[in-house]
């Protein structure tokens, strides 16, 4: 088995490696370091978490051990897509070069230009930078890149995703291609990346230690297919599902990274987790560098359990003991899925990656499965099963309540006596009938004789009404009208009396 001592590294570098506790190089390190020490260009393709940083840092330090830096003219240049990855490379440089008198400068956004200018003016052996801040210093006349001997492009596919390819091409043009050695590393090889390597690398040693865009076999993967009950409740129900998945892992989830596609979702998700008692914090590109560094340090040291991040933390976040990765959103780019879940299962450890997929993201999920060339196992939605159980219990309770209500109605119907009430009403009407006839007789006696014409007209009207009643199917049984009270009009009584006499 190959050891670091077999790779022809500087003895002081080997001493630093031994003090760091490393003995055996990873496959990408074992294959990339020898051609890099020979001065050849290197094209390294390997999944994240395989030790690519050391594969270019160690030979670079060995090559720079001889020589002296000049002001504003760095001897080597390392380009990184994010501030976090650049900071990690700087930490690795400090670890491996602590026995050598080499200087470095870190050029990233969110930090004062004044301090960075002072470091560049003193002269640096290693310049570690993000493309945007590097070009800012160059345009201000603070940098001369023609003396760069070793140029490293780390996470080139992430550079492509972030739109840095034009900046990378411009930086390549600022260096001297005749004296420049290029070390180019990427997890995937998109057509645009391959075009750049063909343009700027000269007969590179191509090293591919794993199939492109493959995840570690130590990572257990799963996806939960989720559909909200209503469109306006998708966010809240999705966050509830995330909390349920974290709680279901229990003590197995010692720490976790939750990845979101948008910065706004990062903040909302972190606040939601903190509201429900989870130890969580957010990190994304809009935060101050000091706050991002503080949050990352707390996560590395185990003081923070859940880190909610955008893809800014998907690359180069070196925390070997991350137990879980939760993809709150399905990545828009399939390659990002490999980098996200690569934060767990590092250094031979086991890891678990779970993803939440809503109907609109099913196309992106299909792209991911096509890229990794396997189907991601589906996991049952714990909220759906709980909801179904609650629905069954509710239906059972409703059936019992309906049964009880039906019995109650039947018993009440049996105890009621509607016929008795009808009989009482009929009897009361019969009791009132003699009084009504008596009142009619009195009104007839009080009627004046001169009202014959009026009575005839009343008779005609009553006859017409009675005929109309008969035409409508009404009955004329010769009985008086019942139920009109004490205010019976005289003409009604007259007409009824005459009809009875006839």
Q: How far apart are CA 12 and CA 24, in angstroms?
A: 17
- The CATH number given to whatever domain includes residue 252 is 3.40.50.300
Decide if pLDDT at 435 tops 80. no
Decide if pLDDT at 450 tops 70. no
Instruction: Give counts: helices (H), strands (E), the chain.
Output: 18, 14
Comparing 106 with 452, which gets the higher pLDDT? 106
Examine the domain organization and report whether 350 and 464 are in the same domain.
Answer: no
412 belongs to a structural domain: no
Examine the domain organization and report whether 10 and 110 are in the same domain.
Answer: yes
Examine the domain organization and report whether 84 and 194 are in the same domain.
Answer: yes
Decide if pLDDT at 36 tops 90. yes
Highest mean pLDDT among 27-36, 66-75, 404-413, 457-466: 27-36
Examine the domain organization and report whether 182 and 264 are in the same domain.
Answer: no
H or E stretch covering 324: strand 324-327
- Among 67-76, 190-199, 245-254, 403-412, the minimum mean pLDDT is found in 403-412
Mean pLDDT along residues 372-392: 75
pLDDT score for 17: 94
Contact status, residue 261 vs residue 288, Cβ threshold 8 Å: no
Range of the domain at 130: 4-208
pLDDT score for 482: 56
Closest to 89 measured CA to CA, from 59, 129, 141: 129
Comparing 478 with 250, which gets the higher pLDDT? 250
Decide if pLDDT at 242 tops 80. yes
36 belongs to a structural domain: yes
Examine the domain organization and report whether 266 and 312 are in the same domain.
Answer: yes
388 belongs to a structural domain: no
Examine the domain organization and report whether 362 and 229 are in the same domain.
Answer: yes
Decide if pLDDT at 257 tops 90. yes
Examine the domain organization and report whether 87 and 13 are in the same domain.
Answer: yes
Q: How far apart are CA 119 and CA 499, in angstroms?
A: 128
Comparing 470 with 75, which gets the higher pLDDT? 75
Examine the domain organization and report whether 472 and 357 are in the same domain.
Answer: no
Angle between helices 263-275 and 234-249 (to 10 degrees): 60
Comparing 309 with 474, which gets the higher pLDDT? 309
Decide if pLDDT at 191 tops 60. yes
Decide if pLDDT at 411 tops 90. no
Examine the domain organization and report whether 492 and 350 are in the same domain.
Answer: no
Examine the domain organization and report whether 182 and 140 are in the same domain.
Answer: yes
Decide if pLDDT at 432 tops 60. no
349 belongs to a structural domain: yes
Comparing 292 with 331, which gets the higher pLDDT? 331
72 belongs to a structural domain: yes
425 belongs to a structural domain: no
Decide if pLDDT at 181 tops 60. yes
394 belongs to a structural domain: no
Of 208, 235, 267, the one marking the end of a domain is 208
Examine the domain organization and report whether 469 and 321 are in the same domain.
Answer: no
3-state SS track over 242-299: HHHHHHHHHHHCCCEEEECCCHHHHHHHHHHHHHCCCCEEEECCCCCHHHHHHHHHHH
DSSP secondary-structure letter at 179? T
148 belongs to a structural domain: yes
**Residues 84-100: pLDDT tens digits?**
889 889 999 999 999 99
Examine the domain organization and report whether 116 and 162 are in the same domain.
Answer: yes
Query: For residue 242, what are its two tokens?
Result: 């995330």
How many domains, the chain? 3
Of 208, 237, 255, the one marking the end of a domain is 208
pLDDT score for 95: 93
Of 208, 232, 266, the one marking the end of a domain is 208
């Amino acid at each position: 088995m190959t050891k670091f001592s077999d790779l022809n590294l500087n003895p002081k570098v080997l001493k630093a490696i031994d003090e760091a506790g490393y003995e055996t190089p990873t496959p990408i390190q074992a294959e990339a370091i020898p051609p890099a020490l020979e001065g050849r260009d290197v094209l390294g393709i390997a999944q994240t978490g395989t030790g690519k940083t050391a594969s270019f840092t160690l030979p670079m330090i060995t090559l720079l051990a001889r020589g002296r830096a000049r002001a504003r003219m760095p001897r080597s240049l390392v380009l990184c897509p994010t501030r976090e990855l650049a900071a990690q490379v700087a930490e690795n440089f400090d670890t491996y070069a602590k026995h050598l008198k080499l200087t470095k400068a870190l050029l990233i956004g969110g930090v004062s230009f004044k301090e960075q200018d002072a470091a560049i003016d003193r002269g640096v052996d290693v310049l570690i930078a993000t493309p945007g801040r590097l070009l800012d210093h160059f345009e201000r006349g603070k940098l001369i890149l023609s003396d760069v001997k070793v140029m490293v492009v780390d996470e080139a596919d992430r550079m492509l995703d972030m739109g840095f390819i034009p900046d990378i091409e411009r930086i390549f043009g600022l260096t001297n291609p005749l004296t420049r050695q290029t070390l180019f590393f990427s997890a995937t090889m998109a057509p645009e990346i391959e075009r750049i390597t063909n343009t700027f690398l000269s007969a590179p040693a191509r090293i591919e230690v794993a199939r492109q865009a493959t995840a570690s076999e130590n990572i257990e993967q799963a996806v939960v297919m989720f559909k909200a009950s209503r469109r306006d409740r998708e966010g809240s129900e999705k966050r509830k599902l995330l909390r349920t998945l974290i709680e279901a892992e229990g003590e197995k989830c010692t720490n976790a990274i939750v990845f979101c596609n948008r910065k706004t979702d990062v903040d909302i998700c972190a606040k939601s987790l903190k509201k429900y008692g989870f130890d969580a914090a957010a990190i994304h590109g809009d935060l101050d560098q000091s706050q991002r560094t503080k949050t990352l340090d707390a996560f590395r040291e185990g003081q923070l359990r859940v880190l909610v991040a955008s893809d800014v933390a998907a690359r180069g976040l070196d925390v070997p003991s991350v137990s879980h990765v939760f993809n709150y959103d399905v990545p828009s780019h399939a390659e990002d899925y490999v980098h996200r879940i690569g934060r767990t299962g590092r250094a031979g450890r086991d890891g678990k990656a779970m993803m939440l997929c809503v109907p609109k993201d099913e196309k992106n999920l299909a792209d991911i499965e096509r890229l990794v060339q396997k189907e991601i196992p589906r996991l049952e939605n714990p909220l759906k099963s709980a909801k179904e159980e609650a629905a069954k219990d509710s239906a059972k309770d409703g059936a019992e309540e309906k049964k009880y209500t039906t019995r109650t109605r039947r018993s009440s119907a049996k105890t009621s006596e509607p016929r008795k009430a009808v009989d009482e009403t009929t009897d009361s009407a019969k009791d009132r009938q003699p009084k009504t006839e008596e009142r009619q007789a009195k009104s007839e006696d009080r009627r004046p004789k001169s009202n014959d014409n009026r009575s005839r007209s009343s008779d005609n009207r009553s006859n017409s009404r009675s005929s109309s009643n008969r035409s409508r199917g009404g009955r004329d049984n010769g009985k008086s009208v019942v139920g009109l009270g004490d205010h019976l009009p005289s003409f009604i009584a007259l007409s009824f009396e005459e009809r009875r006499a006839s």
